[in-house]
């Protein structure tokens, strides 16, 4: 099973690595890091990730994982990721995104009129791109799965494991990676966040 993890400049490392750690250890999986070129891609926090293939070389995948991150707006403007998604999505078993990666799925037309989730600070942007925005941590609609912000990529990947190989495999994977969050601080993810908080978060995503 070929799983393509999409790379683009200033993506968020956890959006990529969380799902990668859950999925790449499954014995059926061959993982691919796919990008516009073979050059290393630098995340928004400075981690360099080396692609294993390019958009021009990889024309299909069973599962596609699109991370989000600070570079989402630039990736939208560039249009290269969306163009590749339009080409490979029709033959994929599952097309997925984490955080602001959902905006790239939407740009490719994959989320038109479909329920989807994203980081709470980008719900308006996702709606403007044609998705029916939900606030769930993971949304499954047909062959498309979207995850909310950053850490939700682990939940998304565990959901995929259950869909692909059954709940028992998913439970084992969750146990194996000891995914039993007990955050040190009590924080409620905003349902309708304050305008100044949204503005600040958007600035972070934009790299300001």
Active site residues: 99
Pairwise CA distance, residues 8 & 149, whole Å = 17
Read off the tokens for 191: 């349902």
Is 8 in contact with 42 (CB distance < 8 Å)? no
Is 100 in contact with 16 (CB distance < 8 Å)? no
Spell out the residues 6+ positions from residue 200 whose beta carbon is closer than 8 angstroms to its own.
Answer: none
- The residues pairing with 3 across neighbouring beta strands, listed in sequence order, are 31, 63
Pairing type for strands 138-141 and 144-147 reads antiparallel
Pairwise CA distance, residues 151 & 155, whole Å = 8
């Amino acid at each position: 099973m070929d799983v393509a993890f999409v790379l683009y400049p200033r993506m968020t490392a956890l959006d990529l690595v969380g799902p990668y750690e859950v999925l790449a250890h499954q014995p059926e999986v061959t993982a691919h890091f796919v990008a516009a070129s073979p050059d290393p891609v630098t995340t928004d926090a400075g981690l360099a990730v080396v692609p294993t293939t390019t958009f021009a070389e990889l024309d299909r995948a069973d599962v596609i994982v699109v991370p989000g991150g600070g570079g989402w707006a630039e990736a939208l403007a560039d249009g290269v990721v969306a163009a590749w998604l339009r080409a490979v999505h029709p033959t994929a078993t599952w097309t997925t995104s984490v955080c602001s990666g959902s905006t790239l799925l939407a740009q490719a037309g994959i989320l038109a009129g479909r329920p989807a989730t994203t980081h709470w600070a980008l719900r308006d942007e996702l709606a403007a791109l044609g998705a029916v925005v939900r606030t769930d941590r993971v949304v499954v609609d047909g062959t498309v799965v979207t995850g909310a912000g950053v850490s939700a990529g682990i939940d998304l990947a565990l959901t995929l494991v259950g869909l692909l190989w059954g709940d028992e495999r998913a439970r084992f994977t969750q146990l194996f990676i000891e995914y039993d969050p007990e955050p040190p601080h009590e924080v409620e993810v905003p349902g309708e966040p304050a305008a100044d908080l949204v503005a600040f978060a958007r600035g972070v995503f934009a790299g300001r």
